[in-house]
A and B are shown apart, each in its own frame.
Chain A
C-alpha cells in the first residue's frame, strides 16, 4: 500500500497564507451579493404591495390575475433559499481556512464533503451537491401533526 504523501511545509504555508488572504474576500463578495439581493427583493415586495392594494381597490381581480400575483410572491421566496445556500458555502469556506492552519490533520475530501452535506437543510442543497437537477415538486407541502 503506498504511503500517505507527506505535506510539503513550504507549499502548506503558502496555501495557508493564500486562504488567509482570499477567504475574507470571498466572504465579502457573498455578503455583498446577499445584502443587495435582499434589499432588492424587499423593494420589489414593497412596490408589489402598493400595486396589489391599488388593484384591490377596484375589486377582487379575476382568478388568473390572482394566480399570477400569488406566483410572484412564491418566486420571490427563492432569494431566501439562495441566501441559505450561500451561507452554508460561506461557513464551509471559513472551515477550510481554519483547517488549512493545520494541514497535517486535514480530512480527506470524502470526509470533508460528508460533513458539508450534513449541514444541508433543503432538498435543493442535496441536489446541487450531487449535480442533480433541481426538483421543485413537493413545495409548500403541509404536514399536520
Chain B
C-alpha cells in the first residue's frame, strides 16, 4: 500500500513541485495550505510523514510540529521542514519542536525524495 505524505506549504506551486517529486516514486500526497489546515487532516487517517514549510499564515511550521506532537496518533510521525528559512535559531526551534530534519529550498526533487525515503521507506 502506498505511503501517504502530508505536504504543508502556503505556496500552491511548491506543493505541486513536491507532489510531482513524490508521486513519481509511488507516494500518495495530501496537501494543506497552512498549519491550521494541516492539523485538521490529522483526524485518524493514515499519514506516514509530513513535509512542512516554516513561514506560513495562520499556524506556521514550528507551531504545526508542536501541535502535531500533541496528537496521540501522529506523535511519532516524522516531519521534514522544507523551507527557505536558513537561520540557525529557526533550525534549533524546529529541532526542539520535534522535527526530524531541515531542508532548504529550492530543493532538487532527487534530494527531497532521498530524504523522504530515509524517514518513510
Contact = CB atoms under 8 A, between A and B. Distances in A.
B24, B99, B106, B107: which has the most chain A beta carbons within 10 Å? B106
Interface in A64-83: 70-71, 73-81, 83
A38 interface: yes
Interface in A46-103: 46, 48-49, 52, 56, 70-71, 73-81, 83-84
A54 to B, nearest CB: 13
Contacts of A104: none
Nearest to A124: B84
Contacts of B36: none
B19 to A, nearest CB: 8
Interface stretch (B7-15, B38-46, B66-74): B7-15
A81 B107 CA distance: 12
A123 B16 contact: no
A70 B11 CA distance: 19
Interface size class of B (residues with CB under 8 A): 35 or more
A33 interface: no
Contacts of A84: 55, 84
Contact of B20 (A52, A71, A80, A123): A52
Contact of A143 (B24, B55, B91): B91
Contact of B111 (A38, A48, A49, A142): A142
A9 interface: no
Contacts of A49: 16, 20
29 contacts: A38-B11, A38-B13, A45-B20, A46-B16, A49-B16, A49-B20, A52-B20, A70-B108, A70-B110, A73-B17, A73-B20, A73-B108, A74-B107, A74-B108, A79-B13, A80-B11, A80-B14, A80-B84, A80-B106, A121-B55, A121-B84, A121-B87, A122-B84, A122-B86, A139-B104, A140-B104, A142-B101, A142-B102, A145-B102
Interface of B: 11-14, 16-17, 20-21, 24, 54-55, 83-87, 90-91, 94-95, 99-112, 115
